[in-house]
Amino acid sequence: MTMREPAHELDNPTFRLAVAQFDQAAEAMNLDPNLRERLKLPERSLIVSLPTRMDDGTVKVFTGYRVQHDSARGPSKGGIRYHLDVSLGEVAALAMWMTWKCALAGLPYGGAKGGVRVAPERLSRGELQRLTRRYAAEIFPLIGPDKDVPAPDVGTNAQVMAWIMDTYSQQVGFAVPGVVTGKPLSIGGSLGREEATGRGVVYVTLEAMKHLGLEITKATVAVQGFGNVGSNTARIMAEAGARVIAVSDHSVGLYNAKGLEIPELLRRYHTNGHSLRDTKMGDWISNEELLELDCTVLVPAALSEQITEKNASKVRCRLLVEGANGPTTLEADQILADKGVFIIPDILANSGGVIVSYFEWVQDAQRFFWKEADIRDRLHEIITAAFHRTLEFSKAQQATMRMAALMSGIDKVAQAHLARGLYP
């Protein structure tokens, strides 16, 4: 029996989006039908129950996932998300995008993703640490520097990575820094990893602006999400000379037509409980309004499926740079293309994170650490080369940037499968 539709346990809107994008690209590139079946589904999916002692003495059981989509080109790589909406289907979609992203950038990795269905902001530090250690212990058989290497994603950070690294190291009896990336510097983290995704977003934006004949100093920028990706994107865009007119987080959006004072905003955000609402800078706008602002560059950097058939016709940016994974639905893609919006797709735009994670993993393996300037230069070289390869391919194939990026990534993965053959 062949399985034409995703297995029902994976079925959710984000997984359907990832599979629909894959199908479109596979069709356009005439992908071998056997490989097409194979690459639609993840290689391996693990669901774990995580009993966790809460501070009041009760035990709560959380659900966690780790999905490895493909490992034909090397160890699988992908972040861990802590969010109440996490599901097997969402994690599987994110794992699939990681496969294409790593291949597109030319990194020797497959794709994976993990997640726990939890609202981390509602846990104490102790509860978060116990939950994380139990999760790390449960996924222990699947991860390792040569097998599968997690990193931060929504709701996780360097501290969570440190607890995972420690739990793994305790199990094997010696320190294994290379089991995760996005770690603190003190245990083998890399300079430049924290800001890497945002820096990559800015590097590809600058290349796209050159291509479109736009100038960064005349550009206005709106950023949805003010976490790792959004806040670093806003800061580095401002440093590059752009006017950042709006930012938002889950609580509120801030708008100032003259440009927000990003360094002061960041200072207030970090001292006022990590909420934009309490920074009192700019006028309040909703997340929906932010997406519809008249601006040069719009960067969704929060969650998936934010630009849909409902609001795409109201999007007024010239350039859409996808900091988040999967922020645009297929229907919205078509509407934006008809409006002439230039899209830098997620698997290209936000690949700075995994590129510098790769540098971190290489430094851990070599036990030799690089200067920050070298990291920035190498990130710039890899991501701008990927941008130009994608642009040239999109022109040659008369395809959108998204389809060109997907086709290039999928082709590299397909070549690896064809070279290795089917086991047994």
Q: What residues line the site for ligand NAD (CB under 6 A)?
A: 152-155, 197, 224-230, 248-250, 287, 301-303, 323-325, 350, 353
Contact between 391 and 401 under an 8 Å Cβ cutoff? The reply is yes
Residue closest to 199 by CA, chosen among 79, 96, 299, 55: 299
Torsion of CA 318, 321, 324, 327, to 10 degrees: 40
Supply the minimum distance, in Å, between the C-beta of residue 104 and ligand NAD. 13
Smallest separation (angstroms) from ligand NAD to the CB of 152? 5
Between 29 and 120, name the residue whose CB sits nearer to ligand NAD: 120
State the nearest-atom distance from the C-beta of 283 to ligand NAD, in Å: 17
Report the residue number, 43 or 322, with the smaller CB distance to ligand NAD.
322
Whether 113 is catalytic is yes
Could you give phi then psi for residue 164, rounded to 5 degrees? -65, -45
| CB 246 to ligand NAD: min, Å | 12
Q: Cα–Cα distance between 375 and 355 in angstroms, integer?
A: 10
Q: Helices then strands (H, E): number in the chain?
A: 14, 12
> Which lies closer to ligand NAD via its Cβ, residue 269 or residue 342?
269
Which amino acid does the sequence have at 7?
A
248 or 408, CB closer to ligand NAD?
248
Token pair listed for 304: 């998936």
CB of 257 to ligand NAD, least distance (A): 21
Smallest CA-to-CA distance from 323 within 101, 4, 1 is with 101
Q: Smallest distance, Å, CB 34 to ligand NAD?
A: 30
Cβ neighbours of residue 105 closer than 8 Å, sequence gap 6 or more:
351, 354, 355, 382, 383, 386
Phi-psi sector, 396: left (phi>0), alpha (psi -120 to 50), beta: alpha
Sheet of 243-248, strands arranged across: 283-285, 253-255, 243-248, 220-224, 297-300, 319-321, 342-344
Residue closer to ligand NAD, measured from CB, 31 or 127: 127
Measured at CB, which residue is nearest to ligand NAD?
Answer: 227
* Closer of 93 and 414 to ligand NAD (Cβ): 93
Residues in Cβ contact with 33 at an 8 Å cutoff, skipping those fewer than 6 apart: none
Catalytic entry in 77, 113, 183, 412:
113
Q: What is the SS3 assignment for 382-411?
A: HHHHHHHHHHHHHHHHCCCHHHHHHHHHHH
> Residues with catalytic annotation?
113
